[in-house]
Amino acid sequence: MRYRIYCLLFLLLARPLDLFAAESPADPLNSVMWHEMHQRLLDGAPVVFDERVRVSAPAVAEDSLNLPLWIDATALGEVERLLVFAELNPIPKVLDMQPLKAAPRIGLRIKVQQATPVRAAALTADGVWHLGGVLVDAAGGGCTAPSMGSGSSDWADRLGEVTARLWSRENHSRLRASIVHPMDTGLVAGIPAFYLEQLEIRASGGDLISRLALFEPIAENPVLTLDLPKVKQLTMAGRDNNGNPVEAQISESSQTGSNRL
Amino acid sequence: MRCLIFISVLLLVGVCQAVERDYQLKPQQVAEDTYVLIGHDEHFSFSNGGNIVNTGFIVTEAGVVVIDSGPSRLYGEQLKAAIARVTDKPVVKLFITHMHPDHFLGNQAFEDLPIGALKKTQGGIRLLGETFNDNLYRLVGSWMKGTRVVAPNLQVEPGLEEIGGHRLQLIALKGHTGADLVILDQTSGVLFAGDLVFYGRTPTTPHARLDEWQAALQQLQKLDFKVLVPGHGPPVTSEVAISQTSAYLNWLQTYLTEQAGSGAAMAELLQPEAPQHLRELAVFSEEYTRSLSHLYPALEAAALAEGKVEQQQ
Ligand SMILES: [Zn+2]
């Protein structure tokens, strides 16, 4: 309900802005919300729809609380920001990444409330957002009940705990990390928004490798996949919106035999 | 003009009234006294009304034994009518092989009879039946009209049960779900394998444990049957459906385990490398994608647990 009011407010506010904004190009996904998203999330900045920004997702979300995404903008070269949003979600913004030294690509899982365009916008140095996206249906396959959320009680003790692994690949290191967190959206009555909102990845010497801002739609116990320059050891540190810290040191496991491209 | 409007209205009314939908169920005889109603090799959709499943029945001296009741009230009623076109004997018992909605949502039509299922199947239907029912409404629409969950009212124990001259061996297995009932009619040699066996159609895995499922398939290989009725796909007289199901599950397990071990993100695996004979199975791509969602999180958690992490908080 509160979200609806925000929506209305937003529509009212967005309207006058339109007069000054760059015109939104025609949307290949034909979404009714695209124009609003362009103003609201990208400040009406210049955009192009660009096949080099790839969003991979199943056409149908089998579990609407865990829709897997693979976002890849590496074909653009340097990317300053990578923004992911699910347009018809009550809270559209999913992720705002500054790749910095990491490759501009990321794997994650998100919650979707209904059929929606899922888009990635990659900002290049010339100030242009390059957009890719797909339509995802949230209907499910029929025999799956959505995962129950944080019904289990042990998350509180393990809040912020990181399970992760570093793989050495030919030209980079792959990091996969899973963080214990309920990622409550605040849209369920009586449960306030409680989510991881910031993560930084640093080399063991302290050099910043990549920075991520996370938002409510990311699935419970986020699992992130990132490709970094070759590292043997790194730290991942951040916090949630209540100030609870996450901090872990992750090293390449010596017994890792699977060196895949 | 007015006439045109009038005709359009008439047409509309006609369309609206023609909604008593027909599954066109046609029992096919697979052995003496034994009939199967074969569903479409598809996904749930409005056009198939959810009829993607096989049901069957055995006409015994003591009455008709039905195996699975289909995806909706309407299917259950039309199944009952289809049986009545084959025999005037009454239905005396219904067995439900497992908890999936396409196998039990027709129970309403048999509500007054003993409806037997394994204990865990009864529990699963009580717990998830309504969710399944809602899901199917969303997927197949008005075909589901008036469908309500009727949980099996009789707990079945494994063993022999003789009904009207047919010796039925009830076998309790698991793997496709936590409880999969298999019925071997020793009198006719027909094996009702439920969803432990798929044939020509990609297996589904929403509640699967692949190791247990493979063990169950090994059990089925040992049974002496003349005809095997899979849960989905045509009946067969050889073991080919068992080995096909096993081959698919084996590939799925191996492929996903390897990918998790080498650090693949889930959505990088939407276009899998699979052998041609598996890709040719009906709805391969859709079912594989669903299975990725069901199975990958546990495999990836196991792979991540091998990583080296020191918490610093
Ligand atoms: Zn099933």
Contact status, residue A215 vs residue A195, Cβ threshold 8 Å: yes
pLDDT at A257 over 50: no
Question: Given phi > 0 = left and psi -120 to 50 = alpha, else beta, which region is A140?
Answer: left
DSSP B201: B
Higher pLDDT, A152 or B284: B284
Q: Which two tokens stand for residue A153?
A: 């009680």
Residues B69, B150: Cα–Cα separation, whole Å: 11
How far from each other are the two terminal CA atoms of chain B, in whole angstroms?
78
CATH code where residue B235 lies: 3.60.15.10
Hey, how many other C-beta atoms are within 10 angstroms of the C-beta on B131? 17
Give the per-residue SS3 of chain A: CHHHHHHHHHHHHHHHHHCCCCCCCCCCCCCCCHHHHHHHHHCCCCEEECCCCEEECCCECCCCCCEEEEEECHHHCCCCEEEEEECCCCCCEEEEEECCCCCCEEEEEECCCCCEEEEEEEECCCCCEEEEEEEEECCCCCCCCCCCCCCCCCHHHHCCCEEEEEEECCCCEEEEEEECCCCECCCCCCCCCECEEEEEEEECCCCEEEEEEECCCECCCCEEEEEECCCCEEEEEEEECCCCEEEEEEEECCCCCCCCC
Q: Kindly state whether residue B6 falls inside one of the protein's structural domains.
A: no
Report CA-CA distances (Å) from B249 to A190, A233, B99, B172: 43, 37, 20, 20
Residue B271 in any domain: the answer is: no
Q: Do the chains contact at A160 and B313, CB–CB below 8 Å?
A: yes
Look at residue A141 and tell me whether its pLDDT is greater than 80.
Answer: no
For B26, counting Cβ atoms within 10 Å of its Cβ (0-12 exposed, 13-18 middle, 19+ buried), the class is exposed
d(CA A162, CA B301) in angstroms, rounded, equals 12
- The tokens for B210 are 């692949």
More confident call, B5 vs A245: A245
For residue B290, give the nearest of A62, A145, A251 by CB distance.
A62
Q: How many CA atoms lie within 13 A of A75 on its CB side?
A: 11
pTM (predicted TM-score): 0.89
Segments of chain B assigned E as strands = 28-31, 34-37, 55-60, 63-67, 91-95, 115-117, 154-155, 159-163, 166-173, 180-185, 190-198, 227-232, 308-311
Interface residue of A70, A109, A110, A144 to substitute, partner B, most B CBs within 10 Å: A144
Q: Measure B181 CA to nearest chain A CA, in Å.
A: 18
A89: amino acid identity, one letter: N
B33 lies in a domain?
yes
Asked whether residue A89 carries a pLDDT value surpassing 60, the answer given is yes
Which letter does DSSP use for residue B236 in this model?
B
Average pLDDT over residues A6-15: 41
Beta partners for residue A203, in sequence order? A234
**Tens digit of each residue's pLDDT (9 = 90 or more) over A208-230:** 999 999 999 999 999 999 999 99
Residues 6+ apart with CB under 8 A from B90: B63, B64
Structure tokens at B119: 């204990």
Predicted confidence band of residue A3 (pLDDT cuts 50, 70, 90): very low
pLDDT at residue B17, as a whole number: 46
Decide if pLDDT at A261 tops 50.
Answer: no
**Which of the four pLDDT bands, split at 50, 70 and 90, describes residue A155?**
confident
Q: How far is the CA of B207 from the centre of ligand 1 (A)?
A: 8
Residue B176 lies inside a defined structural domain of this protein: yes
pLDDT lower than 50: segments of chain B: 1, 4, 6, 9-17
Instruction: Tell me how many helices (H) and strands (E) chain B has.
Output: 8, 13
Contacts with A243 (C-beta within 8 Å, 6 or more apart), sequence order: none
Question: Are the beta carbons of B265 and A142 separated by less than 8 Å?
Answer: no
CA proximity to A53, closest of A70, A33, A30: A70
In one-letter notation, the amino acid at residue A218 is I
B46: tokens are 């409005």
Hey, where are the domains in chain A? Answer: 22-251
Whose CA is closest to B88, among B63, B58, B53? Answer: B63
Please give the helix or strand (H or E) that residue B285 lies within, else none: helix B284-304
The verdict on residue B130 lying in a domain is: yes
Give the separation between CA A113 and CA A94, rounded to whole angstroms.
13
Residue B47 lies in a domain: yes
Closest-CA residue to B197 (of B230, B227, B155): B230
Position A16 confidence tier, pLDDT thresholds 50, 70, 90: very low
- Asked if the Cβ–Cβ distance from B101 to A165 is below 8 Å, we say no
Domain with B232, as residue range(s), is 22-239
Residue B10: per-residue pLDDT? 46
Q: Which of A125-139, A244-258, B69-83 is the least confident region?
A: A244-258
Q: Identify which of B147, B177, B293 has the alpha carbon closest to the alpha carbon of residue A138.
A: B293
Contacts of B289 in chain A (CB under 8 A): 58-60, 62
Give the per-residue pLDDT at A5. Answer: 41
B39-51 pLDDT per residue, tens: 999 989 999 999 9
Residue A48 scores a pLDDT above 90 = yes
Backbone angles phi, psi at B312, to 5 degrees: -115, 5
Q: Which residues contact A190 (CB under 8 A, 6 or more apart)?
A: none
- pLDDT for B283 equals 96
Q: Are A87 and A164 in contact (CB under 8 A)?
A: no
**Is A142:B101 a contact under the CB 8 Å cutoff?**
yes
**Residue B223 near chain A (CB below 8 Å):** no
pLDDT exceeding 70 applies to what percent of chain A? 82
* pLDDT number for residue B15: 46
- Residue of B263, B297, B312 with shortest CB distance to A174: B263
The environment of the single-atom ion ligand 1, i.e. residues with CB closer than 5 A, is: B 100, 195
Instruction: Give ipTM to 2 decimals.
Output: 0.87
C-alpha distance from residue B308 to each of A102, A237, A255, B256, B298 (Å): 20, 16, 10, 22, 18
Per residue in A156-177, pLDDT (tens digit) is 889 999 999 999 999 999 999 9
Give the total number of structural domains in chain B.
1
* Average pLDDT value for chain A: 87
In chain A, residues with a C-beta closer than 8 Å to the C-beta of B262 are: 167, 258, 260
Contacts of B143 (CB under 8 A, 6+ apart): B21, B46, B49, B50, B71, B72, B74, B75
CATH superfamily, with its number, for domain A22-251:
SoxY domain (2.60.40.2470)
